[in-house]
Structure 1
C-alpha cells in the first residue's frame, strides 16, 4: 500500500492530524494497534484549551463538543482552609477551557474518518519504521494475521512514549530529558453530580487532591498517593474520607459522595524527546513529550503538534517548500518546554513531596498566597492554563 502520510496511532493526535490532512486534500493512512472498542473507552485527559477547541471546530469535529462540553471560566485553588478562584476571562482577555473527555474527542474523530471512507485500520500492529532518512520510508505492520507494508512520503509517530516511531530515531541522535515524581495519583470516577462548578486544586499537608468532572452527573476526582499504590488497598469509604479532609475549607461547602465506578493509579513524570523529527519521520504527542496531568496540557500539546505539522505538510504540497517541515521540531519544542515548565510549576506547588522540608512547604504556601494577592501572578497562571497561542515557524 502507498500513501503520502502514514500515521501510527489513533489517539487524538493521530486522528486530528488525519482530519486536518483530509481537509487539505492530502491522503493518509492511520494504523492503530488496538481495536476500536479499546481506543474509544480509554480514560485520559478532559480539559481542552481554546486553541484545541478552535482546531476541532475548524475541521468540523466539534458538533457534540459544542452541545455537551462544560465551559469553565476558572479554577479554584485551596490551601490552609481557604479557597481562591482564578478567573480566566478577566485575566486573559476572554479565554476559557472546556471539560470534554479525550474519549469523546476520539469517538468524534473516528466517526468522521469512517464516514469519509478514509483509511483507518484497527488491530494493525506496527513492527518497524524503515528508511526514515530516505525519501520513501516504509512502515511494516501486521493486520488480520498478515504481514504488510505501507510506503509513505512521510511517517508521523503518534503512538506514545513506548511506540515504534520514537525508537526509529537513532539513539545516537535522540536526547530524552526526564523527571520522575515521587508520588502518583489515585483517580476515581463516581456516579455523583460534581460538588463544584469548576475544578478545585487542593494543597494539603496530607497531599494534593483534585476535584474534576466528566459530565453534570459524573465526577472525576484524584488523590496524591505514594508510588506503587494498589487501588485495591483503598476502600470507597477511605477514598471519600481522605478527599473530604484534603478539600476541607472554611464555610458551608460539602463534598458529595456516590458510587465509585472506576479506580486507577497514574504515575507522574515529565519527559521531552529531542528532536521531534528525523528525516521524514515526525513525532507528535506522547511520542515526543509527556507532562504530569496537573497542568492539563497532554492532549492540548498533542493537538498543537499536529496543527503545526498539518500546516507544514500543506505548505509543502502547495508551494514545494520544505521550510515549515524543517522548522517543525524547533517550532513545537518552544511551546512544549513552556508547557512542561507550567506543568512542573503546578505539580511542585500543589503536591506534598515526601522528602520536603518545612522550608519548602512554606515556599509553596507563599506561592499560593501570591497568586491570590497578585493579579500579575494570577494572570501568569491563567494564561498558561488556558493555553498559549499556537506556534508559528
Structure 2
C-alpha cells in the first residue's frame, strides 16, 4: 500500500519540516503514557487510584480548553508560533515531570503538571489543523499531504511503542519523560523555523473570542456531513477507547494469553494504519465521505472478534484491517474538512469536532468496567460492535454524507469572516 505514495511533496522544504516536526513530536509522545503509568505506580504512595487521578487531570483540560484553542488558532497572526509556544511549554512541563518522578515527588504536583500538559494539547491540536492548510496551499495536494503525514505519525507511533517499553524498563520512567520533553523541544524548533518562511496572517481584533466561537459554530453546523460525522465518531471513539483501554486487555487475560498478546494486537493496528494512509493517498472516490463513513464500520471488528473469542491470529488480522480502514476514514475526512471549510475557520471547526468526538469517551471508560463485571466482557464487546454498526448506519441516512463530491471544489458559498482583517 505504501508503494502507492508518490512522496513528491517531500521535495518541498516546508512540507519536509512539517512532517519532521510531527514525526519527532509523536515519537517522543509515545513514551509519555507508558512512563506516566509505570512511574506513578512505582512512586511512594502510588496506586491505581492515584494513576486514575493523574490521567483524569491530563484529560479534563483537553475537553475544557479545546474550543478556545480553536478560537486562538484562527485569531493569531501565526499558527506556527502558537504551536511552537505550546510545544515549548510542553517540553518544560514534561521535563518537570521527569524531575518529580526522579525524586519521588508528591502525586498532587504530578497531577497539576499533567493538567498543564493537557492544556497545551488543547491549544495545539486545533491550531495544527490550520498549520497543514497554511503549509499545503494547493487543495489538490492536501489528500496526498494528509496521507503522508499520517504515515509519518503512525510510523513514529509504532517506533515509540517499541522503544518506550524498553526505555522505561532499562532506565526508568524519569529518563523516558526527559526524552519526551526533548522531542517537544525539537518539535518547537522545527515549527519556529517553518514559521519564519511563512508570512503572518491577518487577524481579527474587532470581534470578541466568544463571537469568534459563535461564528465557528455556525460554520460547523452549516455542513450536515460534518456534524453527522462528528456525532457518529462520538459513539465510535467511545467504543474504540473502551475496547483498547478495558475490554481488550480483559479478554486478552481471559483467553488470548495476556499482555504480550494484546501488545501484538495494538502493533497490528498501527501497522494497518500505516498501510491505510498509504492506500488513501491514491484513492480518488467520487463520494469521499461515503467511503469514509463505510470504512468507519471497521471499528467494530476488534470488539466483534473478541466477543466471538476468535483465536489470536484472527484477532491480529482484524486489528490490521481495522487500522487500514481507520486511516482511510481519517485521510478522507480531513481532506474534506480542508476543502469545504474556509481556511480562516478551520481551527475553530476542528476544535468543535474534536470536543464532540471526545465528549463521551470518559463516560464510556467509566461504565464499561462495571458493565463487564455484571454481564461479562464478551457480551459487552458484542454490544459495542453493534453500537458501532448502528452509528455508521445512522450516519449513512444523511444525504449529504452519501453525495458530498470529491475533487477539491467546496460546495456553496464561503462563509464571511466575522470582521474585516486588521
- Bigger proportion of residues as strand: 1
TM-score range, shorter chain: under 0.3
- Bigger proportion of residues as helix: 2
Q: Return the structure number with greater relative CO, CA threshold 8 A, min gap 6.
A: 2
